[in-house]
Structure 1
């Protein structure tokens, strides 16, 4: 296992819109494509209309998750750039539109919207993006993947059906990670291990390795997706464990087990999220026109008495007393 260091793992963001128009393509071609992407970029539309927005969250080693918005272009990794790329990870890519991949082993390979492409990050190849699309990328550390997939040959670029449950869960978990603030290499290590587990399941691991991957990766991914779901639905006064379990295709008991293993109950998680939302509204000068009752109901509480009691217990003050 990779040693831990107490350094932050920042989210890397880049947008061509932030570059001066007169030097935008020069910067992309001569600096960013060589040092960051490791590929030559050739727009398939007028330079001034070309757009590339990227967000990459490094996790551990050669593992990272990324998302990008881009207009039509070719991304070519030459032999020189491939040898200079300091990344030996296995790259999984899916796109909201159709794109074409080619390398010297497989030739030209069309990738449909429901496909996931597996390729080596450091191989000579070309990606041709045909329309304005959003692409999601996931790099898995080669050593971590091979530890879970004995005999696997990631040197061969392969197209997978992205509608498979394992790949759907893998990319959903990667999406959940990209929305979180992974602020330390400890969190990065945990997330990287879970991603490797899920990737191994998606790419065909069998036997004892599969059992270990299911136990670790699937459980972590499912729990992350449930929490992301609750972040969107905690204000719903009709929210219940049964409804959430049904949405995620699991039993209510298993839902409670997932929360119990995290050291928090389902009810406590929802209550804490509602109370923090209420506190942010109550202390916001822009919300002074709202009544305490309005904020309580908007936070997901069904009655004011329950809200006041929970608020005092959590913050040691009444809702009215914290208002500016």
Structure 2
């Protein structure tokens, strides 16, 4: 494997392995990488490790990236130049649980698409917002200068109604709050912050300006008018769970991968509806088992066989959860609900 150089920070803060702890600008450039190793730099390090994206450089455009990042608590600002490429938020990368918003303003037009057929066309100098919590791909043109802010939804949630419904939105030029946000981001991206407390304050300032811009965006107001986005995703998740209910490997991650959203986003959908993902799955399995235990056509089947068919991996977990749900052992439920025949209770 080619040796990839460690990115350099402007001060002596901890480097590479953790942008998460670096409160000083960190710079990266393919010009610091031997030409023969640049593709490996993109595919193995810069894309998946640093920015959480899979990069596919255009083979007809010499690959290059030059960027400066500043990681803050709950936010990251970046600016730089890149050759033509496609950056993709893949199913595998969704496993990191990040569902932050990306707010990007490139100097040249670009496009963001999802496997579901949604598309966001952004003109030169305009601003696009999309979510890292779903599968998506962004197509950049050759020699594109970009400015971007990645921000946690948790910093925006108190200020932007239905911020969790945002998947893609276009913001036309001329919004003063958005211009001020990018100007502020450009400023802090060039200077060390120096402390965790300072980083939180700067991130909060960026979040305040971002929230004002998002609330004033006509396109966003239209998008949030269809709060059915979140309801539709919850309904799709429930449908997918029903189809996979009897599979022991069923999890928020498997459902998220199927729907093209992160596992954490799946969990949030259920939590906001008053029930955790695991509680919902367990409840459906218990309801199915109770029906089976009361079905005279199933009296010949062992309770343990039904438990395994419901998706439980071990009987102790099944018995414990059954008692918690119904206040009695599975065998007692079967005797009460199907007393008309001889029953094999185990």
Partner Cα separation in structure 1 for residue 94 and residue 173 of structure 2: 26
Instruction: Report the secondary structure of 1:79's partner residue.
Output: coil
Structure 2 counterpart of 1:137: 148
Structure 2: 5+ residue runs without aligned partners? 1-20, 218-346
Instruction: Report the secondary structure of 2:192's partner residue.
Output: coil
Does residue 190 (structure 1) correspond to residue 197 (structure 2)? The answer is: no
Partner Cα separation in structure 1 for residue 64 and residue 122 of structure 2: 21
Q: Deviations over 1:96-121 (max 9, x none)?
A: 01111112456232210132111112
Q: CA deviation at 1:94?
A: 0.7
Structure 2 counterpart of 1:24: 38
**From 43, 66, 74, the counterpart of 2:78:** 66
Structure 2 counterpart of 1:253: none
Instruction: Report the secondary structure of 1:31's partner residue.
Output: helix
Q: Deviations over 1:282-319 (max 9, x none)?
A: xxxxxxxxxxxxxxxxxxxxxxxxxxxxxxxxxxxxxx
**From 78, 81, 98, the counterpart of 1:87:** 98
Change (3 A) 1:34 1:182: same
Structure 1 counterpart of 2:54: 40
Structure 2 counterpart of 1:54: 67
Structure 1: 5+ residue runs without aligned partners? 1-6, 207-324
Q: CA deviation at 1:46?
A: 4.2
Partner Cα separation in structure 1 for residue 98 and residue 26 of structure 2: 16
User: What RMSD over aligned residues (CA atoms) do the two structures have, in Å?
Assistant: 2.1
Partner Cα separation in structure 1 for residue 117 and residue 125 of structure 2: 19
Give matches, 1:104-253, under 5 Å: 104=115, 107-204=118-215
Q: Deviations over 1:123-169 (max 9, x none)?
A: 21111111211111101221110111133344321111132111111
**Is contact 2:55–2:88 with CA below 8 Å preserved after alignment?**
yes
Partner Cα separation in structure 1 for residue 124 and residue 167 of structure 2: 21
**Is contact 1:115–1:163 with CA below 8 Å preserved after alignment?**
no
Change (3 A) 1:205 1:73: closer
Higher alpha-carbon Rg = 2
Q: Which runs of 4+ in 1 moved over 6 A?
A: none
TM-score scaled by length of structure 1 = 0.57
**Is contact 1:148–1:205 with CA below 8 Å preserved after alignment?**
no
